[in-house]
Amino acid sequence: MERISIFQLFTMTVFLQVGTTVIFGFGSPAGRDAWLAILISTFIGIIIILLYTFLMEMNPGLTLVEWFPAQFGRWLGIPLAWLYPLLFLYCTGRIFSDLKALVPSTMLPGTPSWFVVIAMLIVIVYCLYSEIEVLARFTEYLLPILFFLFMIEIILLFSSGLVHFQNVQPILGHGWENVWKVVWPTGITQTFGETLTLAMIWPTVKNMKKIRKTTIVATMLSGLTISVFSLMEVLVLGEDIVGRTMYPFYVLIRQVTMADFLENLDAMAALNMIITAYIKATVYLFAAVRSIQLLMKISNNHLLILLSAVITYFLGLTMSTNINEHNYVGSYIFPLTIWVPLLLILPMLLLVVTLIRKKWSSPSNNQL
């Protein structure tokens, strides 16, 4: 079995949680208080991750899709487990749908959508054929580069004199209502609830005792990163522009200008977006392939990788007709109808069933 280090798990967790979230700025409905909504989502997200790691400890050595048959039995557990590879495939398709709209409208105008998706997919498939350890090593090298770019971007924004602190005042000027609309359900599911995907990878970690601590620290870093950039978007662009902009992060980085020499850092913004989207899509597709492989008891996953890639390719191209429809589904329909049941309700129910089974199978009850 392939094994990954605890630091590699840390880097993969950060990439999965930051993902495309920092690009689209899901907290914009909260206006100038988006950064606060993200911090609250991070705190609640840590509680949710504690739930996931408790389930991991009570099902040692098992992946997410193996938890359900182990606790619910084969007849109920396997159908429930099959919901997760379908979720992973759909989420991968959503990332491709993000890219098919993002790349032609920002970096490469006029590029066919199918070419954007298939180019990314070829690289992902190549990585999956090399197994999870190669992806883990890749993230291990990429994360320091990504955060170095983030730091450079923030320094350049401050150096350009674009930051206006009055844009964020007064804090909670519109009350708590808009903040809570961001927190529930999108804030705690889109970024932090998605961490359940890594339950397909946790059994491959060398030091499993440190998984909970590592994941929580990574979550804190991810939440802080997203919150900082949400705050920077409001400080630089203003609340109104952020609310009307489809890609606030991309617009934010384009504002950098120093002495009419250093300006329009499109390439830096593009590099950030492509890196985070690529890693997140690869993790999701790996989780989909691995879960199907386990449920179908298939030893060789090469054919599964190709089939999954084809499915996500067509999903990415056909799931929405335009970016507005895509964002509406992702913000208002998908979180409540898909993420909340699969990332919150089912794991909570699984925890209850697991605790009951543990209690009734304890030595004291057996003696009675």
Fill in the amino acid letter for 52: Y
Would you list the DSSP string of 266-325? HHHHHHHHHHHHHHHHHHHHHHHHHHHHHHHT-S--HHHHHHHHHHHHHHHHHS-SSHHH
**Gap between the Cα atoms of 291 and 68, Å rounded:** 12
**Gap between the Cα atoms of 269 and 176, Å rounded:** 32
Name the strand (E) or helix (H) holding 75.
helix 74-81
Q: Angle 346-360/34-58 helices, nearest 10 degrees?
A: 30
Token pair belonging to 122: 């070829």
pLDDT given for residue 107 in this prediction:
73
pLDDT given for residue 368 in this prediction:
40
Q: The domain containing residue 75 runs over which residues?
A: 6-316
Name the strand (E) or helix (H) holding 146.
helix 132-159
pLDDT given for residue 365 in this prediction:
53
What is the C-alpha end-to-end distance of the chain, expressed in Å? 41
Task: State how many domains the chain has.
Answer: 1
Q: Is residue 131 part of a domain?
A: yes
Per residue of the chain (368 residues), what is the pLDDT tens digit? 568 999 999 999 999 998 777 777 666 777 788 888 899 999 999 999 999 999 999 999 899 999 999 999 899 999 999 999 999 999 999 889 888 877 777 777 778 888 888 989 999 999 898 888 888 998 999 899 888 888 888 888 888 778 888 888 888 777 788 888 888 888 888 888 999 999 999 999 988 899 999 999 999 999 999 998 888 888 888 888 877 777 788 778 777 766 555 566 666 777 777 888 899 999 999 999 999 999 998 888 888 999 999 999 999 888 877 777 877 787 778 888 889 999 999 999 999 999 988 877 765 555 44
**Gap between the Cα atoms of 233 and 251, Å rounded:** 9
| CATH number of the domain enclosing 153 | 1.10.4160.10
Burial of 351 (0-12, 13-18, 19+ CB in 10 A): middle
Work out the number of other CB atoms within 10 angstroms of the CB of residue 160: 16
Give 222-243 pLDDT, tens digit per residue.
999 999 888 888 888 888 887 7
Q: Is residue 333 part of a domain?
A: no
- The angle subtended at Cα 304 by Cα 300 and Cα 306, nearest 5°, is 120
Q: What DSSP state is assigned to residue 20?
A: T
Cis amide linkage into residue 104, ω under 30° from 0: no
Q: What DSSP state is assigned to residue 201?
A: T
**Gap between the Cα atoms of 203 and 4, Å rounded:** 10
Q: Is residue 267 part of a domain?
A: yes
Helix (H, G, I), strand (E, B), or coil: what is residue 205? Answer: strand
Q: Is residue 78 part of a domain?
A: yes
**Gap between the Cα atoms of 303 and 326, Å rounded:** 30
Dihedral sign, CA of 55, 217, 272, 233? positive
Q: Is residue 346 part of a domain?
A: no
Q: Is residue 338 part of a domain?
A: no
Q: Is residue 349 part of a domain?
A: no
Q: Is residue 164 part of a domain?
A: yes
Would you list the DSSP string of 57-73? HHSTT--HHHHHHHHH-
- Answer whether 279's CB lies under 8 Å from 285's CB: no
Give 122-174 pLDDT, tens digit per residue.
999 998 988 888 889 989 998 998 888 888 888 888 887 788 888 888 887 77
Q: What DSSP state is assigned to residue 263?
A: E
Diameter over CA atoms, the chain:
82
